[in-house]
Amino acid sequence: MAQGDFLATIRVRLSALTQKAPAKINLFLAVTGRRSDGYHDLVSVAAPLVWGDTVQAELHGDSLSVACDDPAVPTDESNLVLKAANAFRRETGWAQGVRFSITKKIPVGAGLGGGSSDAASALLLLNELSGSRLDGPELLTLASGVGSDCALFLAKAPVIMRGRGERVEPLSKEAYSRLRGMRVLLFKPGFCVPTPWAYARLAAEAPKGYVAEPRAEAMLGAWLSKPGAGAEELLFNSMEKTVFSKFPAIPELLQLLYSRFGIAGRMSGSGSACFLLLHETTVTAPIEATIRDCWGPSALVVETRLS
């Protein structure tokens, strides 16, 4: 290859970068109360999955744009990728135009953090394209301002989340070793649970839907301080009762799966997606068949792993 062709190829590669945008599940989620700013405080352990979206960023003109292969995803200024990109521009002064393309696998309204993950990936791509204008802590602060779940995706490993989700803390090596690489069966019905509705319903039912912060910390601390405690001992979601009262198809299936296969499932975040943690020897075919028998062919069923 001639030197000119080689340099042109390098320039193309540097101007178009791709980043994985994983889904997440909440292994532990205790909502502790509503804040004065309208958000909710929580204590959570969230873990990214191997499975998720893909985000590409390409230098293009002097404006920002986003395209997605899922028509249900908005591509206007309400998209978190564009919110993240505009925040990056304001913070760094870097004004280069970028065209984002999202290959979507994570469904909306699922409690899997798809929009936040895409936004976090966009920040990583912008930082690389701009020559690493922000360091790790600066990116974390910026991500926290874009969306409550964005910060966790920068860690690329399970984290403890506090506040409205912007305060993240890595797990200890020992605790992480209990979760790393676990098999996960992820499944979602054909319907969504709107996150604003779920939290508004929780607030309307206050205080019965909330977990006192000291109790939430004690529950989490008990698992963290018990060496070798299995991941199944961590599972908890205080939003389930509120969501289940409106969407009974979710608890009915989880109860059926437990009675047939002895595996306790959980809802992730505010739903509607749920998950099972699997042993390496677990055969998933009959579990998947049960899910589809109950929720129909529109149900999403994916086997993946914790990162």
Task: Read off the DSSP letter of residue 306.
Answer: B
- Is 149 among the residues known to form the active site? yes
Q: Which of 24, 104, 105, 188 is catalytic?
A: 24
Q: Which of 41, 53, 118, 149 is catalytic?
A: 149
Q: Residue 132 CB: number of other CB atoms within 10 A?
A: 9
Phi and psi at 208, nearest 5°, equal -65, -25
Q: Residue 218 CB: number of other CB atoms within 10 A?
A: 10
Strands 98-103 and 40-59, bridge-based pairing = antiparallel
CA proximity to 212, closest of 41, 16, 1: 41
How far apart are the C-alpha atoms of 270 and 283, rounded to whole Å? 28
Beta-bridge partner residues of 236: 28
SS3 breakdown of the chain: % helix, strand, coil, rounded to 5? 40, 25, 35
Q: Which residue has 């002895």 as its token pair?
A: 262
Q: What is the per-residue DSSP string for 72-88? A: TS--STTSHHHHHHHHH
Dihedral of the alpha carbons of 292, 232, 255, 22, in degrees to the nearest 10: -30
Cα separation values, 244 from 28, 107, 204, 248, 254, Å: 17, 19, 15, 5, 11
Any idea which residues carry the catalytic annotation?
24, 149
